[in-house]
Structure 1
Amino acid sequence: MFYFGIEHEVAFLNQEGKFADFTHTKFADFAQIVEKLPIYPNDYPQLRVGDAGIKKKRWYIEGFERFADSEQPIDCSAKGIEIRTTIHTNIQDAVNELSQSFHLLREVAKSFGYMPVLASYNPYKTVFEPQPPLNDFEIKQLQAYPDEQTANIYMVSYGPDLNISVANMSTDRLIDIGKKLTYYSPYIVPFTYSSPFYNGSLWEGLSVRTFIRTGKRSATLVFVEKPEELITSIPSLTKVARIPAEIGRIEFKAFDSCDDFNIYAALLALLKGLILDETLQGRVTTPDAALHQLSAKEGFDNQDIFANAKKVLKAAEVSLHNDSDAQLLIPLKIMLEQRQSKSHQLIEIFHKLGSIEAVLRKTY
């Protein structure tokens, strides 16, 4: 039995039509939107609320929490709003829930003058520098968690976590799958490339998010039950589950964001196929940064990336065999055939319109 969930980060244009990021958007600006969205009591305990209480709903503010001298947060620099689905046994049900949640979010955001736009990397800000600067307590906190030291990356990047788990999978098998997905990551991430803007202009590749992020942050994260099951790596491949519903979860974190949620259905089917596959032998504990950077620049135009993507997609299709989810792979086949990604469309629109905001308005 497979289980599926999706976490999707949403960026916005504000009332003035400017990209709404931490430089001029307060936590309260997004909080007023989340406040108006419904709460579903039956979602719990499968959704984690967290210590700060920010994650009370299917929607919550994604950002960087600030502290004074204790673990009680005093503020949060806001990046955008994340939507998360509940856990489903069917891929399409997870995608349908995400679509419904997104439509609700769009309607409420509109009433406050905010417009959701597709962004996988902040098109204007290249780094996040906390203001005021980090205090001693915060520095100590970050030093205790190596992955948290990359806040300067995650505060300017947006992307999904595609979550998949299999009932009764052993920890060894779980970690092996994590290593496998990490190995094949540079070949499958081009299906989602959607970050061709950097520092207010066109970047020289297809995914600045992948170029900067992958290698420093995890491509795959697997949730184990006990601390003794962790394996040491930077970035982390393993993490101790924070609630029982997370035990055995495989989170694929390297994709860019998609504004067509049917692509998430295709990608979940791909991940499912790769879990079932027994032919692909590649395994690594940490992402190959150089290979991801090559992939980010050239995508499927690179012959090696293209050939391996084709091989991986075929292996997933064969392993799904008579499973109806094999049909969900069709959009990926078309993309591969055309060697196209969302970034190609965004670049083309930018050449016509000459404005990043004008391009972003054409998304979703």
Structure 2
Amino acid sequence: MFYFGIEHEVAFLNNEGKFADFSRTKFADFNQIVERLPTYPSDYPQLRVGDAGIKEKRWYIEGFERFKDSENFIECVPKGIEIRTTINSTIQNAINELSESFRLLCEGASSFGFSPVLVSFNPYYAVFEPQPPLNDYEIKRRQASPEKQTAHIPMLTYGPDLNISVSGLSTEGVIDIGKKLTYYSPYIVPFSYSSPFYQGTLWDGLSVRTFIRTGKRPAVMVFVEKREQLIDSVPSLTKIARIPAEVGRIEFKAFDSCDDWKIYAGLLALLKGLVLDETLLGRATVPDAEKHQISAKEGFDNEDILAIALQVLQASEIALLNDPDVQLLAPLKVMLQKRETPAHKLIQVFNRVGSIEEALLQSYLSTKV
């Protein structure tokens, strides 16, 4: 039995048509949107609320949490709003829930002048520096894990966690799948590429997010039950589950954000096929940063990336042969055939309109209210 979930980060333009990042947006600006959105009591305990109390709904403000001189949370510097689905037994149910949550978010955001836009790396800022600088407690807190040490990177990035789990799989089996997905990550992430902008102009590539992020940050995270099941690695491959519903969850974290839910459906089907596949032998505990950077620059125009992406897609398709979800792979097959990624469309629009903001406003057209 498979289970699926999606965590999707949404960036916005504000009512002045400017990119609504940490430089010009306060927590309260986004919180007024979240406050109007509904709460579903049946979501819990499968959704984690967290210590700061920000994650109380299917929508919450994603950002950099600040603390006083103890565990007392005092502020969250915002970068956008994340949507998370509940745990679903089918890919289509997860997609349907994401679609409805996105619709409600759009309605709420528009009433305050915010428009959702597809971007996976901040198009203007290359660094995020907390202001005021971190205090002694915050500095000590950041040493707790490799991910906390690189917590400034996600303030610039927008991307999904695609979650998949299989009932009855051993801890060793789940970790092996995590290693497998980590190994094949640079070959499958181009299906999602959507960050071709950097420091106010076009970047020489397709995914700034992948180029900067993956390697310093994990491609995959596997949630285990006990501390002795953790694997020591930088970045981490394993993490202790924070709630029982997380035990055995595999989070694929290296994809860029998508504005076409059919691509998310295809990517979840691809991951499902890779879980079932027994022919692909590549394994890695940490992502290959150099290979991800080549992938980020060239995508499917790189012959090695193209060849192994085709091999992986075919292996997943064969593993799903008698499964209706095999049909969900169709958009990925088209991209491979054309050697195109979603970033190509953003680049084409930018070249036509000459403005990052205008190009971003052309995203989500099929999903906006």
Secondary structure in 2 matching 1:99: helix
1:150 deviates by: 1.1
Identity of aligned residues (%): 73
CA distance in 2, matches of 1:230, 1:140: 22
Amino acid at match of 1:5: G
Question: Is the 8 Å Cα contact of residues 146 and 234 (structure 1) preserved in structure 2?
Answer: yes
1:152 deviates by: 2.1
Secondary structure in 1 matching 2:152: helix
**TM-score w.r.t. length of structure 2:** 0.98
Residue by residue, what CA displacement relative to the aligned partner does 1:153-201 show, whole Å, maximum 9, x if unpaired?
A: 1100000000000001100001100000000000000000000000000
Amino acid at match of 1:161: D
Question: Is the 8 Å Cα contact of residues 269 and 326 (structure 2) preserved in structure 1?
Answer: yes
CA distance in 2, matches of 1:235, 1:321: 34
Question: Is the 8 Å Cα contact of residues 180 and 283 (structure 1) preserved in structure 2?
Answer: yes
Question: Is the 8 Å Cα contact of residues 220 and 237 (structure 1) preserved in structure 2?
Answer: yes
Does 2:327 align with 1:327? Answer: yes
CA distance in 2, matches of 1:143, 1:245: 26
CA distance in 2, matches of 1:31, 1:126: 25
Residue matched to 2:340: 340
Question: Is the 8 Å Cα contact of residues 128 and 151 (structure 1) preserved in structure 2?
Answer: no
Does 2:315 align with 1:315? Answer: yes
Residue matched to 1:68: 68
Residue matched to 2:300: 300
1:321 deviates by: 1.2
Amino acid at match of 1:171: T
1:149 deviates by: 1.4
Question: Is the 8 Å Cα contact of residues 64 and 152 (structure 2) preserved in structure 1?
Answer: no
CA distance in 2, matches of 1:240, 1:206: 33
Amino acid at match of 2:73: P
Runs of 4 or more off by more than 4 Å in structure 1?
none
CA distance in 1, matches of 2:292, 2:38: 39
Residue matched to 1:46: 46
Unaligned stretches of 5+ in structure 1? Answer: none
Secondary structure in 2 matching 1:125: coil
Secondary structure in 1 matching 2:80: strand
Secondary structure in 1 matching 2:108: helix
**TM-score w.r.t. length of structure 1:** 0.99
Residue by residue, what CA displacement relative to the aligned partner does 1:242-266 show, whole Å, maximum 9, x if unpaired?
A: 0000000000000000000111100
Residue matched to 2:288: 288
Amino acid at match of 2:107: E
CA distance in 2, matches of 1:82, 1:53: 14
Residue by residue, what CA displacement relative to the aligned partner does 1:189-227 show, whole Å, maximum 9, x if unpaired?
A: 000000000000000000000000000000000000001
Counterparts in 2 of 1:190-205, with a 5 A limit? 190-205=190-205
Residue matched to 1:264: 264
CA distance in 1, matches of 2:168, 2:235: 26
Secondary structure in 1 matching 2:151: helix
1:325 deviates by: 0.4
Residue by residue, what CA displacement relative to the aligned partner does 1:58-77 show, whole Å, maximum 9, x if unpaired?
A: 00000011011111210110
Residue by residue, what CA displacement relative to the aligned partner does 1:6-38 show, whole Å, maximum 9, x if unpaired?
A: 000000001111000111100111000000000
1:145 deviates by: 2.0
Question: Is the 8 Å Cα contact of residues 230 and 239 (structure 1) preserved in structure 2?
Answer: yes
Residue matched to 2:178: 178
Secondary structure in 1 matching 2:194: coil
Counterparts in 2 of 1:93-108, with a 5 A limit? 93-108=93-108
1:147 deviates by: 1.0
Amino acid at match of 1:166: V
Counterparts in 2 of 1:117-196, with a 5 A limit? 117-196=117-196
Unaligned stretches of 5+ in structure 2? Answer: 365-369
Does 2:46 align with 1:34? Answer: no
CA distance in 2, matches of 1:37, 1:127: 31
Give the root-mean-square deviation of aligned CA atoms: 0.5
CA distance in 1, matches of 2:27, 2:166: 36
CA distance in 2, matches of 1:4, 1:76: 28
CA distance in 2, matches of 1:113, 1:129: 27
Amino acid at match of 2:264: Y
Question: Is the 8 Å Cα contact of residues 7 and 83 (structure 1) preserved in structure 2?
Answer: yes
CA distance in 2, matches of 1:337, 1:210: 22
CA distance in 1, matches of 2:188, 2:75: 37
CA distance in 2, matches of 1:5, 1:72: 30
CA distance in 1, matches of 2:260, 2:96: 12
Residue matched to 1:228: 228
Residue matched to 1:239: 239
Amino acid at match of 2:217: R
Question: Is the 8 Å Cα contact of residues 350 and 356 (structure 1) preserved in structure 2?
Answer: yes
CA distance in 2, matches of 1:121, 1:346: 13
